[in-house]
Amino acid sequence: MAEDDGAEEIEHAAELVERVAAIDIAKASGMVCVRVPHEDKPGKRVQRVFHVAATSGAILDLGDHLVCQGVTRVVMEATSTYWKPFFFLLEARGLECWLVNARDVKNVPGRPKTDKLDAVWLAKLAERGMLRASFVPPKPVRELRDLTRSRAVLTHERTRHKQRGEKLLEDAQIKLSTVLSDIYGVSGRAMLEALIAGERSPKALADLAHGTVKATPTVLAEALRGQFDEHHAFMLRMLLDTIDHLNVQIDRLTARITTKFAELADQRPDTDDGGDDGPGQGLLLPLTDVERLDEIPGIGPGTAQVILAEIGLDMSVFPTAGHLVSWAKLSPRTIQSGGKHTSGPTGKGNPWLRGALGEAAVSAARTDTFLGARYRRLVKRRGHMKALVAVARSILVSVWHLMSNPRARYRELGADFHTRNLDPARKTRDLVRQLKALGHDVTLTPATI
């Protein structure tokens, strides 16, 4: 007799959506399919497909039409950024809008592909409850995303210009980067400005170094001996001006991000239920969300801002920490077939969130903390990259718990957590198995105390 996995009761009627609309979106237009029940023939559907321009006026008229038709759900694919006018304007009209992943609504192979057929297919999937809505954060969080992502882009651009400046110095045989950890620090910047101003004496340039520079004046002078000419001075001036401009822009973005987080903190409802605080909670001074996340090893204020901007402040969107980790694509896919269980790649996920968590995981792996110990335990058998993904997952789980409870605080378990909670019998079995694998006969005698 075949093994039965158990019967599962499914409420099919609850999954059906009677009045639904789907939009196949392009840059300048959208193909709309509306499916509603037939007025005179029970069990029959009425389908209408029509073309709508992607202008504000046309979309608002579409919203009025859908409301008059009694449509309760509007579904659209995430097509570049062209979905935003349709989503935001129809949502403001009071319609329930779902943004779905194009991979989830891929048409059946072998069928013709047109905008009309795609809209009809999307509408049929929507009315049968076969789609999952993507996470679209509210407007304040979307604005935070714009700010943090712009800051990341400008920071990357600043790094590119700094690297170009270093290459320019190499072209002039100036080996400043070999003797200074940061050629754009106080000492390095003073030397660069002097070079641009016309100073060519290696000794005079070396004397501009501050006391924190470890290299000796002789070594500095030798590194500053080169063929720096007027062309190099012109190019370096342009690069330094661009770097200074980017610094100002990044500082402006950081200030606005901080202000936005303060405004969101004031708008958040007080969810203090008066319950008992758990370990590591309930300290006297209340902290902001960014400050609480900053207590996690590897996370700094800037990284905390990026994480919160990407996942939002309301964790009710993600019922459990597992839902958030799965959405971020930090959990391996489970593949089961023919009784075999394997794990697949995690997937791409949100690149901005994964980048921030990756940097945090690298920093946490170097610390003498629970997360650092977790990395060192996993890297021996799973490799560097998988160990970092596991640490990033642990960080995101901690973030979910902290954001789910405004009174929670991060509590460090310690690098010896696994050692303190070790199962002696299991450890004994592992060591005996390893010795037997090496060809030894093992006889255990309990120690006498």
- 117 and 154 in a single domain? The answer is no
Q: Are residues 336 and 377 in the same domain?
A: yes
Rounded average pLDDT over 49-67: 93
Is a pLDDT exceeding 90 seen at residue 265? no
Nearest alpha carbon to residue 96 among 130, 64, 123, 73: 73
Higher pLDDT, 50 or 276: 50
| pLDDT band, very low/low/confident/very high, at 7 (cuts 50, 70, 90) | low
- Would 61 be classed as within a structural domain? yes
- pLDDT of res. 281: 43
Structural domain of 369: 289-404
134, part of any domain: no
User: Which ranges in 27-174 belong to alpha helices (H)?
Assistant: 56-68, 83-92, 115-127, 139-171
pLDDT band for 268, please (50, 70, 90 cuts).
low
Does residue 447 lie in a domain region? no
pLDDT over 50 (residue 243)? yes
The closest alpha carbon to 342, from 352, 330, 332, belongs to 332
Give yes or no: residues 242 and 310 share one domain. Answer: no
Residues 240 and 293 in one domain: no
Type of residue found at 397? V
In angstroms, the Cα distances linking 81 to 77, 87, 183, 285 are 10, 10, 40, 42
Q: Are 328 and 322 in contact (CB under 8 A)?
A: no
Q: The dihedral of CA 160, 162, 167, 171: what is its sign?
A: positive
Q: What does the pLDDT average to over 241-267? A: 93
Specify the amino acid at residue 111: R
Backbone phi and psi for residue 79, each to the nearest 5 degrees, phi listed first: -100, 105
What whole-number distance in Å separates Cα of residue 285 and Cα of residue 80?
Answer: 44
Give the H/E segment covering residue 340: strand 340-344
Mean pLDDT on 295-321: 93
Question: 10 in a domain, yes or no?
Answer: no
Residue 423, in any domain of the structure:
no
- Judge whether residue 318 has pLDDT over 90: yes
Q: State how far the Cα of 259 lies from the Cα of 295, in Å rounded to an integer.
A: 21
Q: Which residues pair with 100 in a beta bridge?
A: 77
Whether residue 45 contacts residue 97, with contact meaning beta carbons closer than 8 Å, is answered with no
Euclidean distance between CA atoms 151 and 24, whole angstroms: 33
Per-residue pLDDT, 292: 93
Residue of 284 and 344 predicted with greater confidence: 344
Q: Say if residue 283's pLDDT is above 50.
A: no
Question: What's the whole-number average pLDDT of the chain?
Answer: 87
What's the mean pLDDT in 341-365? Answer: 88
pLDDT grade for 276, boundaries at 50, 70 and 90: very low
Residue 349 lies in a domain: yes
Of the listed ranges 174-188, 294-308, 340-354, the least confidently predicted one is 340-354
Residue 97: beta bridge partners? 74
Give the span between the Cα atoms of 42 and 40, in whole angstroms: 6
In a domain, 449, yes or no: no
CATH code at position 49:
3.30.420.10
The average pLDDT across 284-304 equals 86
**What does the pLDDT average to over 358-385?**
93
For the cut 90, the answer to whether the pLDDT of residue 338 exceeds it is no
The per-type count for the chain, helices as H runs and strands as E runs, is 17, 7
Q: Are 121 and 24 in the same domain?
A: yes
Examine the domain organization and report whether 111 and 165 are in the same domain: no
247-271 mean pLDDT: 86
Of the candidate ranges 67-81, 207-221, 327-341, 403-417, the one whose mean pLDDT is the lowest: 327-341
pLDDT in tens, 129-179: 888 888 899 899 999 999 999 999 999 999 999 999 999 999 999 999 999
Q: Tokens representing 329?
A: 């694509």
Residues 6+ apart with CB under 8 A from 439: none
257-263: average pLDDT: 92
> Residues 360-380: what's their mean pLDDT?
94
Residue 89: count other Cβ atoms within 10 Å of its Cβ: 18
Band of the pLDDT at 421, cuts 50, 70, 90?
Answer: confident
Q: How far apart are the first and last CA of the chain?
A: 55
In the DSSP assignment, the letter for residue 448 is P
Mean pLDDT of 423-445: 87
Stretch 19-37: mean pLDDT: 91
- Judge contact between 200 and 209, C-beta under 8 A: no
Q: How many structural domains comprise the chain?
A: 3
Residue 9 has pLDDT above 70, yes or no: no
Same domain flag for 118 and 152: no
The C-alpha atoms of residue 55 and residue 76 are separated, in whole angstroms, by 16
Residue 279 has pLDDT above 70, yes or no: no
Give the percent of the chain with pLDDT over 70. 92
Res 43: pLDDT: 77
242 - beta bridge partners?
none
Whether residue 97 is found in the same domain as residue 36: yes
Taking the C-alpha atoms of residue 231 and residue 263, their distance in angstroms, rounded to an integer, is 49
Measured CA to CA, the distance from residue 66 to residue 44 in angstroms comes to 19
pLDDT cut 90: percent of the chain above it: 58
Residues 208 and 294 in one domain: no
Residue from 156, 155, 164, 226 nearest 191 by CA: 226
Q: Decide if 427 is inside a domain.
A: no
CA distance 141 to 147: 10
How many angstroms separate the most distant Cα atoms in the chain? 96
Q: Does one domain contain both 156 and 250?
A: yes
| Cα–Cα dist 395/388, whole Å | 10
Rounded-to-integer distance, Cα 298 and Cα 365, Å: 8
Residues 66 and 166 in one domain: no
**How far, in Å, CA of 398 to CA of 117, rounded?**
44
Q: Tokens standing for 6?
A: 């158990």
* Size (the chain), residues: 449
